[in-house]
Chains A and B, each alone.
Chain A
């Protein structure tokens, strides 16, 4: 158990809908990362937050947005869902947001299926 929690574990929804994925980082970790894993794209970095502020952005679609709240939990919002958004979404956390604190702890993931 990494100490990172994600809810829900599974999500099935229809095209065009909007969903929210939730992540609670390990106690004491200030940085939260979101990754998408799909068969055709592999593991891709989406976005990073550090202590409530956006720190880095990756291959995140404009239909997707995220935020980190004062209690450090984070939410990833996916809207106007398409079939291709079906994937495993991981949240990870680390203490810092610098190149020196390298280890990230991953949550169990949310499996999103868009029908």
Chain B
């Protein structure tokens, strides 16, 4: 089967940089996506890595290493509104998402 592990909680200070890690086990996938979910809200797309390396989108960057079965999401210049849950997800052949366990990010002033 497929599984993805993330730290359950991360705390950081406003203005700082935080990295959320994701390790996975799978026999095959197209890419690794990241989604943000505010409490009780809909997940929203943040980033996608089809290839190894770093993808940058504004304050957010995401990294993938297929050889290490590892990825991370990097959030820079943290703002209070970044407090949310973050999910990594394996993108399958049909575009279905297999989500990780989720990381609750708390940004403190």
Provide a sorted-by-A list of 15 A–B residue pairs whose CB atoms are within 8 angstroms: A2-B44, A35-B97, A42-B100, A42-B102, A43-B99, A44-B99, A45-B99, A92-B43, A98-B94, A98-B95, A99-B95, A102-B30, A103-B33, A104-B97, A109-B40
- Establish whether residues A103 and B96, one from each chain, have CB atoms under 8 Å apart when the complex forms: no
- Establish whether residues B99 and A42, one from each chain, have CB atoms under 8 Å apart when the complex forms: yes
- Establish whether residues B31 and A42, one from each chain, have CB atoms under 8 Å apart when the complex forms: no
- Establish whether residues B43 and A90, one from each chain, have CB atoms under 8 Å apart when the complex forms: yes
**What are the 4 tightest A-B residue pairs by CB atom distance, in nearest-first order?**
A99-B30, A106-B42, A43-B99, A56-B94
- CB of A31 closer than 8 Å to a CB of B: yes
Interface size class of B (residues with CB under 8 A): 20 to 34
Q: Which residue of A lies closest to B44 (CB)?
A: A106
Write out the residue numbers on chain B whose beta carbons fall within 8 Å of the beta carbon of A105. Answer: 45
Write out the residue numbers on chain A whose beta carbons fall within 8 Å of the beta carbon of B99. Answer: 35, 42-45
Residues 59-109 of B at the A interface (beta carbon under 8 Å):
87, 91-102
Q: Which residue of A lies closest to B91 (CB)?
A: A102
Identify which of A42, A44, A102 contacts B95 (C-beta below 8 A).
Answer: A102
Residues of chain B at the chain A interface (Cβ within 8 Å): 30-31, 33, 40-45, 48, 50, 87, 91-102
B33 to chain A, nearest CB (A): 6
Residues of chain A at the chain B interface (Cβ within 8 Å): 2, 4, 31, 33, 35, 42-45, 48, 50, 55-56, 58, 88, 90, 92, 94, 96-109
- Establish whether residues B41 and A108, one from each chain, have CB atoms under 8 Å apart when the complex forms: yes
Write out the residue numbers on chain B whose beta carbons fall within 8 Å of the beta carbon of A102. Answer: 30-31, 33, 48, 50, 91, 95
B79 to chain A, nearest CB (A): 21
A48 to chain B, nearest CB (A): 5
- Establish whether residues A97 and B31, one from each chain, have CB atoms under 8 Å apart when the complex forms: no
Identify which of A2, A48, A88, A96 contacts B96 (C-beta below 8 A).
Answer: A48
* CA of A109 to CA of B40, assembled, Å: 9
- Establish whether residues A99 and B93, one from each chain, have CB atoms under 8 Å apart when the complex forms: yes
- Establish whether residues B93 and A45, one from each chain, have CB atoms under 8 Å apart when the complex forms: no
